[in-house]
Amino acid sequence: MESILKITNLTVSYAAGFGRKKLAVDNLNLEVAKGEIFGLLGPNGAGKTTVIKAIIGLLYPQGGEISLFGSTPPTVVDRGKIGYLPEVSTYYWFLTPEELLKMYGKICRMDKSELLQRIDYVLNLVDLTNEKKQLIRTFSKGMQQRLGLAQALLHNPEFLVLDEPFSGLDPIGRVKVRKVLKELKKENKTILLSSHELSEAELICDHICVMNNGKILKTGAMEELIGEKGQESLERYFLSVIGGGA
Ligand SMILES: Nc1ncnc2c1ncn2[C@@H]1O[C@H](COP(=O)(O)OP(=O)(O)OP(=O)(O)O)[C@@H](O)[C@H]1O
Ligand SMILES: [Mg+2]
């Protein structure tokens, strides 16, 4: 198995005021293999976004190691092979998708003609071709979310790290994004996503881990895990692991 991401003993805590600390990720271990879709699942506050930010390099962990594409710690070149969809995307409202993506492409130092082709390609992929020249401030939440996915895919990254990719999408939008992720998997891209949409995660993830309070409670192949507890759906499995709900 070729490993794209390996996290060893990751520990992250935040300053929580009055000199106190909040342990958000507690000695966490996780591995993502090339070509798979890996789902990071857990209730609100479990630590999913914190793990993702540590992978991207947006925060500095107090302990542990992160290895990307086999290098520890990851280099700028390694991190450049990641496409990242943040949990909350903020855009310049006065730009159009085309202008925004041109700006991101320039930041990534993409070749100009390649950039123009990629802009058309990714906007088509997320079904925003007709809105290419429309101001982003007129976009609905779901359109903004799909634009976020387009920017994550712009530089044709090897590894997609998507924080809640289905958030704010209607059923049609969810189907579209699911199709895009399946296409990427066919291209042998690797995807790590966090999600509360367990029915979506069930349809696309090869491997999952269920985390809570900064720790992984369960990890493994989707089918094996659901079968292990004799549950008929990921949602029921999730609730049985977390110990909540029906
Ligand atoms: N900047 C911060 N400062 C202090 N505490 C934080 C900060 N960001 C997150 N936390 C805390 O760390 C814990 C993990 O938060 P995180 O955002 O990683 O959870 P999550 O699993 O992504 O939740 P959600 O499903 O709501 O997005 C929570 O208890 C949260 O309150
Ligand atoms: Mg989060």
Rg of the Cα atoms in the chain: 18
Q: What is the pLDDT of residue 99?
A: 97
Q: What is the pLDDT of residue 243?
A: 84
Q: Hey, whose CA ends up nearest to atom 29 of ligand 1?
A: 45
| Nearest ligand 1 atom, CA 50 | 18
Domains and CATH numbers, the chain: 1-81+159-165+173-246 (3.40.50.300), 89-157 (no CATH)
Residue range 15-43, pLDDT digits in tens = 988 889 999 999 999 999 999 999 999 99
Spacing, Cα 24 to ligand 1 middle (Å)? 7
List all residues whose CB is within 6 A of at least one atom of ligand 1: 14, 16, 22, 24, 42, 44-50, 87
Closest ligand to the CA of 10: 1
Closest ligand to the CA of 48: 1
What's the rounded Cα separation, in Å, for the pair 52 and 48?
Answer: 6
Taking a 5 Å cut-off on Cβ, the residues next to ion ligand 2 are 48-49, 87
Q: What is the pLDDT of residue 159?
A: 98
Q: Hey, whose CA ends up nearest to atom 6 of ligand 1?
A: 14
Q: What is the pLDDT of residue 231?
A: 65
Q: Give me the half-sphere count of Cα atoms (radius 13 Å) on the Cβ side of residue 37.
A: 23
Residue range 187-198, pLDDT digits in tens = 999 999 999 889
What's the rounded Cα separation, in Å, for the pair 202 and 66?
Answer: 27
| Nearest ligand 1 atom, CA 16 | 4
Low-confidence ranges of the chain (pLDDT < 70): 228-231, 245-246
